[in-house]
Amino acid sequence: MASRSAIVFLLGLAFTAGGCDRQSPGSGQATAAADNAIAPDEVVATKPAQGKAGAVDRAQHGTAAINAAFTGPDGKLAKLADFRGKPVLLNLWATWCAPCVKELPSLDALAARSGDRVKVVAVSQDMDQAKVAPFVTARRLHRIQPYTDPQMNLSLGYRVNLPTTILFDSKGREVWRVSGAMDWASPEARKLIQEAL
């Protein structure tokens, strides 16, 4: 009986450790500009590179993108291979994930800044895909399109938690990935994006 209790305890611990969650509540005294900044206490990763949340992981560098299908804003199936020919920044997020939502405005700004040089593909992992387009509209995200993956093919295929962002070069090979939220307007993020250009 003691071993059964230990197994239940370990499974419960693994469940609570995995997935998207805020580490600690915010102070509530931030300005409007600071509301869009990524606070260190909101960066989450269950498998961070080198033991640090938000660290850049290059372990899969050169690996081809998986062939998982997701739904485009037009309702048709899409794959990462459809974007080959230019670098792709894949962001896996969900409407219920606080760090994901926090980083979306800076990701939207990155998409506007990058123009045609880098394709930003933000794919919601929400199981109810009907809520994604209204969510994107309500948040006034102008460049992020409502790609959806209700089967979670991408997050399961890459074995990652949310948010996770993966940069692919123009040939569809992984350059790096970041588990956890990131400020995509930061100088560090700009330098990272340059690696695929």
User: DSSP for the chain?
Assistant: -HHHHHHHHHHHHHHHHSS---SS---S---HHHHTS--GGG---SS-GGG-TT-EE-TTTTPBPP---EE-TTSSEE-GGGGTTS-EEEEEE-TT-HHHHHHHHHHHHHHHHHTTSSEEEEEE--S-GGGHHHHHHHTT-SS---EE-TT-HHHHHHT--SSEEEEE-TTSBEEEEEES---TTSHHHHHHHHTT-
Contacts of 136 (CB under 8 A, 6+ apart): 144, 145, 146
Give yes or no for residue 4 having a pLDDT over 80.
Answer: no
Please give the span between the terminal C-alpha atoms of the chain, in angstroms, as a whole number: 58
Alpha-carbon span 82 to 173, nearest angstrom = 13
Mean pLDDT of the chain: 81
Q: Which pLDDT belongs to residue 29?
A: 31
Higher pLDDT, 8 or 100: 100
For the chain, what percent of residues have pLDDT higher than 90?
Answer: 71
Higher pLDDT, 195 or 21: 195
pTM attached to this predicted model? 0.76
pLDDT tens digits for 117-137?
A: 999 999 999 999 999 999 999
